[in-house]
Every structure is written in structure tokens, then in C-alpha cells.
Chains A and B, each alone.
Chain A
Amino acid sequence: MIRWLKRFRGAGFWRKVKQQAKLWREVALPGASIVALVMIVRLAGFLQSQEWMAFDSFLRLRPPEAMDTRVVILGIDEDDIDAVGQYPIPHRDLAKALRILTAYQPRVIGLDLFRGPSDDIGRAELSQAFQEIPNIVGIEVALNEQTVLNTSPPPELPPNRVGFADVIVDSDGKLRRSILAAKTWGGELKYSLPFQVSQVYLQAEGASFQHGPRSTDPIRLGSIVITRFLANSGGYVRTDANGNQVLLNFRSRQLPFHTISLSEVLDGKVDPSWIRDHVVLIGMTAASVKDMFITSAVKSTLLASILGDGGPANQVLYGVEAQAHTVSQIISAVLNGRPFLNAWPELGEYLWILFWGLLGVTLGILLQSPWKTLLSIAIATLVLIGGCYTLLILGWWIPVVPTVLALWGAGLTTAFFDRDLRALLEQRSLTLKRSFDAVHNGPLQNLAVILRSLDDDNFSSQQLRTELQSLNRELRGVYESMKQEMLTRSDSLYLEGNLVLDLNTPIPELLYQVYELTLSRNFPCFVGIKTYIPPNFKTLEDCPLNLVQKRGLCLFLQESLCNVGKHALAATRLDVSCTREQGWYSLRIVDNGAGISNPLSMSGGGRGTDQSQELARQLGGKFQRLDNSPQGTICELTWPTARFWFWRF
């Protein structure tokens, strides 16, 4: 017996574990599949633009950095074009500006301009300036497959003082990357203008430069290695990562660099200290020239500051500004240890998404209330976003969008499934347990008695019949009590003796049930009643009542009948009537017992009276308790038929 019990317990334990495992599996699976779905969607690249948006926003919202005075932009703007009176800018003016600048001893000049009109007689002067000034870096366009699209550099400059101006823009039209080194279609390894300029600047700082024969080889500058952009870096999916590209870590500041105009230079109005030993980048900052990009990742651009704009999401960035950001990024990294933008390896990113997704699943399972789940997921989201933002400031681009999606998707799905499933399972096991208890405590006990009695010779078939009948009744009772379990609390009325009424049943039937059930209770004063005059609640059939009013009427009837049962001493007659006359409904409970003048009858009636008054107020009617003649009590609730419509709306 004991062994059997042990085995039973063991089996019970394993069944419980299995059940729990099954519960977890059933509940966690939908959430987990949402996480998987998010990952697949991300792998397919459908989240790329959302991730870019988040990335840009975070970059734009970074705390401001100091101005980088090492980089100065000489922007040739609309005013300059007006002053000079022609575009492209004549070579002579350019040559003049270069000589004036050189006098201020800049460390390097980057000339982000193409040649002007070829027939310009000032070309000789510019050519001479190129030859005489050693620290000028010029541009070319070199990376196009069709050579027609490429532009050659100024012939006076040696190859090591030429950088390409080629750029790469993302599919949403925004600039986020900079190509530092690349091989041309001819197989020649070339560097970009900002890189060449930075390298010249850094040489003076003693930072060595190392790069392998392939463009993708790591570029070493001084003590750092430039973080190369990869095809799947951060939110990017299968992007063209040819050459040696880097994610633009824009300098986060309203005006990140000193900016001067051509006229200021030609007029000698430039502060020499701005130029001395610094990088000067000369380029067009005239909106009409169209050397510009779109970005959402900077606080402000030159154009935006001219327009006096606080910085909309999409801003126009001049080419020379982008070069300045790149140069500043490289030299700050080498000299100040300012970080490049890094991303985790692919696997790390997906583990990260999985982690947060599973956190969502766990929150959904652990927290029973959906509000708690919602709140905890919201808190987790704040932590996640805050963490990602902080990490981005530190130079790490961590996936946010897919992670948030996984967290919410998995969390809500799990909470939803869990609630349903758990409620279902709980109800099932509860109903089962109660059914068994009910059968066990009642009918099974009686059955045992009957079985035992069968051996008794004195046990007559009449007795057996009685016993079996009571067994029959009890078994039906089990069903009745189970039915009550099914009714939910909100629309049911609990009467004493474990009876539950469904308030959705029509009011006549409901009141009749209350009438029947209350009168079948064991109250002392019911015993003497010889005449029951049953009501006809059908008159209330068309009376519009909400659940609260229905409940109120039921309780009123119950209360009044109970009062009769408890207080109507020596009553022989109970008359309950329900009428509809001249626009009034009336529910009367009349007895011929001791009456309200009897002090006993009023004791403890306070609460019931209050409830009745409240119900009468709700129905727009009145409640009163009167003396019946010759003796007894009349308990009466009346309410108008018509005013109900006002109460309803």
C-alpha cells in the first residue's frame, strides 16, 4: 500500500513537471516564434531603414561636444559668387586666396573644388600656386567604372597630394559613411581627400601610417586602427562595403568647425590664429552648386544655421562639411582617442535580440496581470533604449529597433497566450477538483453505505429505493453546483445556501427563482403560513432594467421575504403581488403577521431599508413599509413605467 502510494506520488510529481513543461512550452512558443520572426525580418533587411532612423536620431541627440578648431571650412557661398561675379570661381581668385591662406601657415589645405573654366588666363597663376605651396591636397573622382565619369586631379599635384571625392550614399538617400581608401577599377589603391588631408596633418604629429596592399586591409594611424565598415555593420544588411569605409561619427555640435568665406580671405579679414597649423578645407557652400548631401544625424549644418533653423530631422550637408566631419573624426580618433562607430559581430547582435525577446517572454509568464506585464515591458524598453543611447555615445551601435520589437512582440504575445491558457487550465483543474470533491463527499459516501447495507438481511427494497433516490438527487446536485461555477461573478447573484442566479435571465423568471428559493429556506415564520398567494412577475416583462437594477430588485424581494420569515410572527398568509397600473409598477409583499408595530420586527431592518431606499431612488420610485389591516406588514416598492426611459439614456 505504501509502495503504491509512493509510486503514485512519484507519478504525480512527474506529471506535474511534465504539465509545467508543457505549459511553458505552450506559452513560450508563441513568444519565441515572434522573436524568430523579428530576426528573420531583420535578416531580410526590412528593418534597415527603421534602424537607420533610430541610429540617426540617437546620433543627433547625443550631448554636444567641443568645437574642433583644428578643422576650418572655407566655404565659397552665394555671396562670394556674387562678389567675384562668376561661377566657377576664376582660377586667379582661387590662387590669390591660396597665397593669402598660406601666409597664415595652415598645416594642410584640402581643395574640394574642381577646375574652373579651362580658358581662364588665371590658370597659370593657380598652377604656379599649386607648385609653390607644398601642403595642398586636391581632389579627383576616381572610383567610377566608366572613366568618362571620373575627373582627373589638377596635373600639378603629385599623386600623394590627391584624394578622391567619391562618396557612397545609403538607399534612403542619406550620407552615413565615408570611403577612406579604395581601389580604382584599374587596380590602383587610392585614398580620399579627407583621409589624405588627415594623414598630412597627422604626419606632423608623428603619427605613422600603415596600410596593406589591399584596400580592405586595416589602416593604422599612430596607435589606432580605423574601424572598417562591414556589409552588415549595425543595422545595415548586405550593403556595399567595398574599399575601406568608415561610419561617419559626426561631431555633435551646433557649429562644429570654424567657417570662413572666400571674400573674408580675399579681404584679409580672417583671424590668422584660426588658420595657423590647422586644416583648411576649401569647398562650395552655395546651395545653387548642389554639392550636398542629406543627413539626419547632425545637430545642425551650415545651411540650417543660415536659415536659422533649429534643425529638422533631414538636413542638407555640404560636401565640404562632410569632408570636415571626416577629417575631424580621423584626427580626433588618433590624437584624442575619440571613438569610431563600432558594431557587434552579427552573432552578437542576434543573441542580443534573442536575449531581450526572451526577457519579454519571461515577463509575460512571470507577471500574471497584463498591466504588470505592460508596465514591466515599458520599463525594460526604457532601460534598453537608454542603454543603447549610452553605448552609442561610447561608440557602439547596438540594435534597438528589432530588440524593442522582439521585446514587445514576445512579451505581449506571451502575456496574451499565458493568460488565456492559464485561465483555461486553472478553471479546468478547479472544476475537476470540485466535481470530484462533490462526488466524493456526497454520493460516493452514500453509495458506500448502501453497498454495506446490502448484506444486511433487514434491508428492504423500499429502503434501497429511498437510498437510491437520494443518491439520484445528490448526483443531480453535483451538476447544479458545477453549473454555478460557470457563471461569472459580475452578472450573477449569489443567494445564501450557495445558490447563484444568472442576472441575464429575464426579470420575471429571475424574481420567481428568488421567490421560490427564499421561501424554501427554513425561517420560523414560514412554518405557520397556510396561504401563499404567488406573484405573477410577468407584468415586469417589458420593464427595461440593467443588471444593477435587476440585482437590486432580486435583493429587495429576497430581503422582504426574509423579513417576513424572520419577523412576521403568527402570519398565516403571504401575498406577493406584482402589478402594472396607471403608469406605475408595484411590487408588494404583504403578510398578516405581527406587523411593524411590533418592536421585534424592526430590529436589524436598517441595512435592508437603506438598500431598498437606494433601489427606489435608482428606479425613480419610492419604497415604503406600511401596516396591513387588520394586522401585518406591507412592504411596497413602486416605480413609474415611463420615467424609465429617462433613466436608461
Chain B
Amino acid sequence: MSQGTSAPVKQTFLVVDDHEAILEGTVPALGQKYPEAEILKAQDAQSARRLAEQHHPELVVVDLSLPEKPHATAKPEVGIEFLKTLMEASPAPNILVLSTNVQPLVRLKPTINIYEGGFAAMDKSLPIREMLKLVDLTMRGSIYLPPEVRSRPEFDRKWLEVLTLKFQEGLTDKAIAERMKVSDRTVRNYWIRLQDALGVYDEPDKDLRIQIEIEARKMGLIN
């Protein structure tokens, strides 16, 4: 919850779904949890793209199967394309994908791993509270993919680079970001993902980075 409150003064969320019923369920729930946030709605990829460009939302909740224009047929390809443009946007929004079929996300996995923002995906049929939990994770910068998309412990090469630069060359996050030509936020999020992947949890009396280093050495990720 702490991450939610430390966010910029005015939060903007964008919810994209072609089903009115889903929008009606999702939007009030989000509104309840983030009373400060302005929640925008879109029912097709075109208007969603426009809203995203205008408002640079901090969070985008999106259905994979979307129509390109109003009243067109919904196709997962359209959703994937929309996701690709979102993920190239700057600043990168945190993304939560809600869909009846998250399988098409498999092909985006390499991009997701190195994505600047948080990214989560879930089956639409899961309860609203699950969704809110994932919104939280996403806002934190984590990656969460359902089991059918993520089935094994993966460490992206970029994350490992962060480890090496930190623990073998002793660079600061800022220097790492410069060296890797990514944003500070990206490096921060890579740490969060390493933490998730290594199963390191925040404990009040332990240093998080040291914990990560210990685990990474155990795994042989750094020598």
C-alpha cells in the first residue's frame, strides 16, 4: 500500500475493455481502492491509444481481446499490438492484462522481462480482489504472469547484468542505469524482479541488497 500513496499527486488510470460489464465491475473497485486516481475508460484500441497519449496513465488495465475501432470484432492481435505501443511509451505505464486467454502473451515475454514498468496478467474470471492484488504488484514494478505463461524460474540477462555491475564492479544504481542505458526506474524495477525471482522478501532487520547478493551467489548467478 505504501507504494500507492508515494505516487505523484494526481494518478491517472486507464481501463480498456470492450465489455461494458467488465468495466462496470473493474472501475468502481479501482476507484474504491485508489480514491485519488482519475480513472479513464476506453472500449476499443483506437480511443485507448489516444487517451494513453494524452494522459500518460500510471496504470493501464487492458483486455487482450480488443476491437480496433468501436463496433469492430475483438481480436487478441489488436490487444497485443496495443500492448506493444504501450510498452514503447515514455514514461512506461504499469500494465495489468485481464483476459480470458493470456496465452498470446507468451510471445511478449522477452519484452516483458526487460520492460521498464510493472507488468501483470491474469485470467478475467478471477475475483476482483485478485485483480486488486495484482494492481498493487504492478504498481510496485514487479512482473507477475499466470502459470500458463510463466512456468519456470527465469532470470533475464539484463537483470543479471545489474547483479554483476552492482556486486562485482560496485556501481551505484545511477551508474548502472547509465552503463546499461536505461532509466533509473528500470534499474529499480529490475531489482524488484530479481528480488521476486530469488524469493527474497522485505524483512525489517535485513538489508535487501545483501539478501539478494547472498541468494544470487547461492544460485551461481554471480561468481
Distance between Cα atoms of A600 and B113 in the complex (Å): 35
Interface residue? B154 (CB, 8 A) = yes
Q: Kindly supply a per-residue 1/0 record for chain A positions 235-252, scoring 1 wherever the CB is within 8 Å of any chain B CB and 0 otherwise.
A: 000000000000000000
Distance between Cα atoms of A537 and B114 in the complex (Å): 13
- A572 pairs with B153, CB closer than 8 A: no
Interface residue? B201 (CB, 8 A) = no
Q: Which of chain A's residues have a CB closer than 8 A to the CB of B151?
A: 519-520
Interface residue? A534 (CB, 8 A) = yes
Binding site for B on A (CB under 8 A): 472, 476, 508-509, 512-513, 516, 519-520, 529-538, 572-573, 577, 592
A-facing residues in B143-157 (Cβ within 8 Å): 151-157
- A513 pairs with B109, CB closer than 8 A: no
- B220 pairs with A573, CB closer than 8 A: yes
- B153 pairs with A530, CB closer than 8 A: yes
Known: A530-B153, A531-B153, A532-B155. A513 touches B107 (CB 8 A): yes
Known: A512-B107, A530-B153, A534-B110. 16 other contacts (CB 8 A): A472-B125, A512-B109, A512-B110, A513-B106, A513-B107, A519-B151, A531-B155, A532-B152, A532-B153, A533-B154, A533-B156, A533-B157, A534-B156, A535-B110, A537-B110, A577-B157
* 5 A–B contacts from the bound complex (CB under 8 Å): A516-B109, A531-B155, A533-B154, A534-B109, A577-B157
Distance between Cα atoms of A512 and B160 in the complex (Å): 20
Distance between Cα atoms of A535 and B151 in the complex (Å): 15
- B154 pairs with A532, CB closer than 8 A: yes
The 7 closest A-B pairs by CB, nearest first: A532-B154, A509-B107, A536-B110, A532-B152, A534-B154, A531-B155, A533-B155
A-facing residues in B38-54 (Cβ within 8 Å): none
Q: Which of A513, A529, A534 has the most chain B CB atoms closer than 10 A to its own CB?
A: A534
Distance between Cα atoms of A82 and B83 in the complex (Å): 103
Q: Which of chain B's residues have a CB closer than 8 A to the CB of A520?
A: 151
CB of A313 to closest CB in B, whole Å = 64
- A512 pairs with B106, CB closer than 8 A: yes
Q: Which of B101, B110, B113 has the most chain A CB atoms closer than 10 A to its own CB?
A: B110
Q: Which of chain A's residues have a CB closer than 8 A to the CB of B156?
A: 533-534
Total interface residues in chain B, CB < 8 Å: 19
- A533 pairs with B152, CB closer than 8 A: no
Known: A519-B152, A520-B151, A577-B157. A530 touches B219 (CB 8 A): yes
Distance between Cα atoms of A533 and B110 in the complex (Å): 11
Q: Which of chain A's residues have a CB closer than 8 A to the CB of B101?
A: 476
Binding site for A on B (CB under 8 A): 101, 106-107, 109-110, 113-114, 125, 151-157, 160, 219-221
Q: Which of chain B's residues have a CB closer than 8 A to the CB of A573?
A: 219-220
Distance between Cα atoms of A127 and B47 in the complex (Å): 113
- A529 pairs with B152, CB closer than 8 A: yes
- A536 pairs with B153, CB closer than 8 A: no
- B106 pairs with A533, CB closer than 8 A: no
Q: Which of A508, A533, A577, A592 has the most chain B CB atoms closer than 10 A to its own CB?
A: A533
Residue of A nearest to B159 (CB): A533
Residue of B107, B152, B157, B160 near A536 (CB, 8 A) is: B157
- A531 pairs with B110, CB closer than 8 A: no
Q: Which of chain B's residues have a CB closer than 8 A to the CB of A529?
A: 152
- A538 pairs with B157, CB closer than 8 A: no
Residue of B nearest to A520 (CB): B151
Distance between Cα atoms of A494 and B128 in the complex (Å): 39
Residue of A513, A516, A531 near B221 (CB, 8 A) is: A531
Q: Which of B101, B125, B151, B155 has the most chain A CB atoms closer than 10 A to its own CB?
A: B155
Distance between Cα atoms of A553 and B160 in the complex (Å): 26
Q: Which of chain B's residues have a CB closer than 8 A to the CB of A530?
A: 153, 219
Q: Which of A476, A577, A592 has the most chain B CB atoms closer than 10 A to its own CB?
A: A476
Residue of B nearest to A473 (CB): B148
Q: Which of chain A's residues have a CB closer than 8 A to the CB of B107?
A: 509, 512-513
Q: Which of chain B's residues have a CB closer than 8 A to the CB of A512?
A: 106-107, 109-110
